[in-house]
């Protein structure tokens, strides 16, 4: 790394460290505002009592009643005078209102001046308050340590063109930004009890503190190719973890009890899987019937959707006929229409042709899938040569044979992609089967899982998560079975002759 870049990285990291010592937020003392609100209310009470005295006087009330009202006015006025005196005393002792706070070197001043609002914590289930403070302070010191480590690594890298020190420094910069971002978000979310307000951030300091490690990271990436490659790997790993984490939490919750689930998130499986399965079976959750019904609907609809949509896209690509562009525009317009808009009309149509409590209205309409046609047409325009069709016609092949033996193999990656999407959409479809299927023996898995929340006495979240996990299992199997075709298609598309 060039010496100028090294100096720039070190300066940016030092600025970040300095920003951690600057006031990043303040907690405003709201005592004056609360006192002003109390004064306004008291003035209204005095005015209301005076208005009542005026009405009693005009109406000719007896002297005892008037004197009683005058005494009440005097008491309310005394309270008002007391509040005004407190306001004047606070104004005479005017000093900077509120508490300033810096990330370093001190800790959040909770316990002495500030205190957390326990009502908010209990209402929003923040677990645990004390542990959260320890985690917050640990994150701050971790960020400071990462900055120092990064500076040391850049110095040790020297003027070398390539060095692992620079790569490790880039990793430290990335995690510095993540930890500082967590600290800022957590600080902004702490519920502070009155009279102090929640943290009011000083955004210039916040932006400078978060931007400097990011800029230092990009300078490092721009200078070092191996650092860039490592950052890409780290980004891919983080995105993979974010993608897998919801599924893992769902599976873990399937092994936990309702009390454990309500107490907070955990990544470690528990020992209530058998109990949750017992609860699930007692609630008439017949997993085999649900699998059968969902499989019949989903796989049948997917096969029809993929085959006929690919056939339609092939026809629009190969055959040049009058009105083809207009027809394609209509297909694109259909994509813009939400399914919920046509739900009532679709139900009435199925009712009139006596297709209620039948799988047919959930399978046959999948033939006309506008979004799938659009995807296939775009794929063919990018990966298809019309000369293949012309050569097959010269050899005497029929149109359907050309499509089935030549075009479909070309479209396997696109078909695998849309097959996954179609299976997921049909398998997770809840609204349409709910409208059309009332026979308990024909219910799909999403309908059965929804009914698990029907217990008016207690909701067993563990059994619900177990039902969701069993529902998602076939989708994972389909994805892993078809993903190899998608990867193969990407590899083929990346080869240029």
State the pLDDT at residue 456: 52
With a cut of 70, say whether residue 457 has pLDDT above it.
no
Task: Give dist(CA 337, CA 330) in Å, integer.
Answer: 11
Average pLDDT, the chain: 84
Helix, strand, coil percentages (3-state) for the chain, rounded to 5, are 75, 5, 20
Task: Characterize the bridge pairing of strands 99-102 and 200-201.
Answer: unpaired
Look up the pTM and report it.
0.63
With a cut of 50, say whether residue 55 has pLDDT above it.
yes
- Quote the percentage of the chain above a pLDDT of 90: 23
Q: 235, 17 in Cβ contact below 8 A? A: no
Q: 15, 208 in Cβ contact below 8 A? A: yes
With a cut of 70, say whether residue 497 has pLDDT above it.
no
With a cut of 60, say whether residue 94 has pLDDT above it.
no
Q: Coil, strand or helix: which one is 100?
A: strand
Q: 198, 121 in Cβ contact below 8 A? A: no
Q: What is the largest CA-CA distance in the chain?
A: 119
Residue at token pair 């009332």: 438
Mean pLDDT across 205-223: 90
Q: Residue 158: left (phi > 0), alpha (psi -120 to 50), or beta?
A: left
Highest mean pLDDT: which range of 44-58, 216-230, 270-284, 298-312? 298-312
- Termini Cα distance of the chain: 37
């Amino acid at each position: 790394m060039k010496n100028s870049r090294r100096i720039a990285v070190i300066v940016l990291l030092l600025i970040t460290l300095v920003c951690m010592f600057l006031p990043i937020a303040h907690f405003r003392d709201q005592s004056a505002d609360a006192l002003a609100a109390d004064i306004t209310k008291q003035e209204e009470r005095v005015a209301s009592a005076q208005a009542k005295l005026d009405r009693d006087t005009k109406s000719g009330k007896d002297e005892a009643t008037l004197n009683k009202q005058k005494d009440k006015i005097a008491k309310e006025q005394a309270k008002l005078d007391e509040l005004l005196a407190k306001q004047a005393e606070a104004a005479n002792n005017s000093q900077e209102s509120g508490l300033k706070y810096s990330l370093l070197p001190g800790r959040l001043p909770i316990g002495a001046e500030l205190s957390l609002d326990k009502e908010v914590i209990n209402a929003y289930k923040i677990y645990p308050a004390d542990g959260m403070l320890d985690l917050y302070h640990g994150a701050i010191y971790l960020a400071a340590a990462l900055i120092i480590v990064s500076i040391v690594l850049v110095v040790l890298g020297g003027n070398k063109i390539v060095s692992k020190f620079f790569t490790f420094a880039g990793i430290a910069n990335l995690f510095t930004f993540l930890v500082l971002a967590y600290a800022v978000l957590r600080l902004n979310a702490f519920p502070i009890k009155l009279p102090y307000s929640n943290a009011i951030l000083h955004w210039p300091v916040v932006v400078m503190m978060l931007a400097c490690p990011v800029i230092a990271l990009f300078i490092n990436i721009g200078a070092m190719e191996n650092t860039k490659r490592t950052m890409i790997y780290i980004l891919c790993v983080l995105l993979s973890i974010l993608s897998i984490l919801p599924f893992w939490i769902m599976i873990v919750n399937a092994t936990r009890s309702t009390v454990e689930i309500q107490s907070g998130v955990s990544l470690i499986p528990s020992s209530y899987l058998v109990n949750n399965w017992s609860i699930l079976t007692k609630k008439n959750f017949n997993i085999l019937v649900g699998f059968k019904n969902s499989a019949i609907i989903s796989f049948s609809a997917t096969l029809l959707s993929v085959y006929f949509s690919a056939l339609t896209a092939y026809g629009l690509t190969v055959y040049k006929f009058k009105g083809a562009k207009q027809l394609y525009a209509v297909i694109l317009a259909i994509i813009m229409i939400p399914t919920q808009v046509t739900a009532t009309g679709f139900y009435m149509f199925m009712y009139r042709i006596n297709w209620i409590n039948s799988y047919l209205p959930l399978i046959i309409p999948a033939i006309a899938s506008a979004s799938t046609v659009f995807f296939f047409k775009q794929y063919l325009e990018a990966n298809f040569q019309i000369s293949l069709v012309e050569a097959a016609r010269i050899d005497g092949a029929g149109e359907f044979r050309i499509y089935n033996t030549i075009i479909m193999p070309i479209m396997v990656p696109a078909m695998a992609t849309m097959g996954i999407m179609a299976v997921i959409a049909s398998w997770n479809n809840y609204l349409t089967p709910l409208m059309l299927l009332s026979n308990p023996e024909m219910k799909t898995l999403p309908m059965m899982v929804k009914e698990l929340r029907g217990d008016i006495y207690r909701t067993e979240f563990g059994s619900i998560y177990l039902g969701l996990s069993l529902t998602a299992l076939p989708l994972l199997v389909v994805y892993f079975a078809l993903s190899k075709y998608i990867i193969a298609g990407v590899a083929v598309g990346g080869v240029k002759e």
